Structure 1
């Protein structure tokens, strides 16, 4: 079994829109959708189970459940697929762009007076399950804080499987999971 890694720092940032100006590969595949979780988003079994476990964990602590966001899911999927195809593991994009700019390109802040986004990522052997992913994040103070942030309203999830991932993955078979969190109002 391959080692399991969670990023060392969960990313979270808030900013006022006035302070910000925006400026399918072979061997990499999205997990097969198991069911429709919302009218616009289909999640794989791993993603759907992880969403359920995250919301159960939040509920046990008196926190509201997170709504599945099609836009945050698109951001998460793009990031997981990019990391798998290009062989890097980072909150930043492959071109060095910050995570919040990447998320904002999917989950816009235009028209909202308050916007915030955060992200948890991990990579593991292909047999990672929702319980294992949640345990990794809950055992990391930064990831735990992100998961249990009372401000989050929405979430996007993506689990991408790569049969032979390049770069930091050493050609190994891996699953890369991205959870993007947000609120805007």
Structure 2
């Protein structure tokens, strides 16, 4: 009988608490690192090729970060709207500003941009054959990556979180 009463009390308590949890989650949604994270197959291929190059050089693979991916995609679309590639956004934003806007807390950041390449392999070849871009790809301090792609405009954002 005691077990039955404790079970009944447990379920009554659960019934009373569940609506509160639902209301709190509805009023104050928890931001997930994976919420609304969509990485295109093209962006994923760029990430895979980047990691292949890094492992060939004895470096750790980079983890895809949704906040960096969102920042990279937003910058890619911004470059399209400007009709040119730039590390400065149309609003004057820097990489650091864009990372902060995406709520990415970082110790270190880097960015590669490109335009005109028609495939992930072509853009990676362009970057790896350019000293500054190669330094970003092979920087051992970076642990995360986000990639944006649209209409042959490309953005890679590298980071190391706090």
Question: The TM-score by the shorter chain falls in which range?
Answer: 0.7 to 0.9
Write the distance in 1 (CA, Å) between the matches of 2:35 and 2:91.
33
Contact 1:72 1:107 in 2 (8 A): no
Unaligned runs of 5+ in 2: 1-33
Give me the TM-score of the superposition, normalised by structure 1: 0.65
Structure 1 residue runs of 4 or more that deviate by more than 6 Å after TM superposition: none
Aligned equivalent of 2:41, options 42, 45, 54: 45
Alignment counterpart, residue 116 of structure 1, candidates 105, 108, 116: 108
User: Residue 122 of structure 2 is aligned with which of 132, 136, 148?
Assistant: 132
**Mapping of residues 27-176 of structure 1, within 5 Å:** 41-109=37-105, 115-124=107-116, 128-161=118-151, 175-176=152-153
Equivalent residues of 1:69, 1:156 under 8 A apart: yes
Paired residues in the alignment total 129
Cα distance change, pair 107–150 in 1 and its aligned pair in 2 (3 A): farther
Q: Is the 8 A contact 2:73 2:155 kept in 1?
A: yes
Cα-Cα RMSD: 1.7
TM-score, normalisation: structure 2 = 0.74
Cα displacement (A) at 1:137:
0.2
Aligned residue among 150, 154, 157 for 1:180: 157
Q: Is the CA contact (8 Å cut-off) linking 1:88 and 1:94 kept in structure 2?
A: no
Greater strand share, structure number: 1
The structural deviation recorded for 1:40 is 5.4
